[in-house]
Structure 1
Amino acid sequence: MDRRKLMLLAAVIVAALGTVLVFLYVQGADSRAAAKFDHVEVLRAVAMIEPGETIDAAAAGGKLQLQPVPADAAMQNVVSTIDDLVGEAANTRIYPGEQIITDKFGDAGDASLLPIPEGKMAISVQLTDVSRVAGFIKAGSRVSIFVNGTGKAVVDGTVSEDEPITRLLLPDVTVIAVGSTTPTAPGEGAVVEALPATILTLAVDQKEAERVIYSQQNGDLSFALRNSDSEVTASDSGVTIDNLFK
């Protein structure tokens, strides 16, 4: 076989091999695309579901909807029907758009609907959105709590017992639930709330609970949202007019 024929044969083999490789690539791409756009139907929340609200009540209130999601985006333990959750209640707030998973529901009569850490108890405080970082505090947030009230201060060398003071009350507290309150309806003798109020439920020990309750009854609380890198240090005197600019 002369050189010319050998070159022609080699060209045919290379072309055939290239065709096979292109075919295999296209087939693989089609399979990957099909897998990417393969959808399954799951139940999703279309309205807020509050802690303690039963799945039955949520369904009856139109808060659930069967929607398609990409198969690889479906969460573990997601459900497509409420059949396995009938009679159970949400143990945390479920926001619109969330997939309904079994982990977030439990017995409606269970006292542990709130995720209270071991050794802690749950107490609630009511705050305006301004005092709770403009509404950014959610269940699971970590916060520092400050108290604004009156206390002992030295002003111009004179000790006063009733000077305004702001101090750190608790440096690191976990919020376990957040719920909105209903503003007072206008009417004769009624006072309409100027700002929306929210109830924050905190996980605290006994001493912390006593401090929060006392401070709420005798002063004003403000919450600061924090993360693992936040540096919070208590001061002995807090901030008064005497040291405000020092």
Structure 2
Amino acid sequence: MAAKPLIIFDCDGVLVDSEPISLAVLREALATEGISICDEDARRLFLGRSLATMLAVVKQDFGATLGDGFLERLRRELYARFRRDLKPTEGIAEAWTALAAEGYGWCVASSSQPERIRLSLEIAGLLPRFEPPIFSASMVENGKPAPDLFLYAASRMKRSREECLVIEDSLAGIAAAKAAGMRVFAYVGASHAQSSDYRAQIAALDPDLMFDAMDILVQRAAKV
């Protein structure tokens, strides 16, 4: 019998509903540097991307160089907001329990820093219950939309790209999974993914499935 696929979960917007919080904090922090950016442009430029990419975009598009002090203030405010407001994605704990019962393995591969990923999962009650292997864009040369992170995660988990199924919510993440030659399911149930324009952009990347509830993932994973 063929091995069940390794499921590689993005974190922000897939396991936790964090993107609206993250983008709001980022926009507020940029405003203190004299950089005004609307919510739509923030999503387009930064959703699913690493802090290193964010810094590069700000320098290229706005001509501003943001130092370590900016990043430290950003993280401090973001983590405080997470502790106050962050929630797990509805149904994710039940989905992981069901996937484990069916013999699936999984890991987390996120553009965020390792400490942020662990904090998010801990606040959401997922880390102490499941303790999934965690991989961060800080571990590879190029973040999403490059395939490096997903290929690294697969290698560390000793699985081929053909044996992997990526769960993503962002344009950059879906592009990265496809560049890695992996199957990808697009989760569009998070609060930032409700607009028809955003869903149309996701659909244009031709993921193997678009779904908006974690019980659907459990059903469809069995058919991969």
TM-score under structure 1 length normalisation: 0.24
The structure that is strand-richer by fraction is: 1
The structure that is helix-richer by fraction is: 2
Question: Based on CA coordinates, which of the two structures has the bigger radius of gyration?
Answer: 1
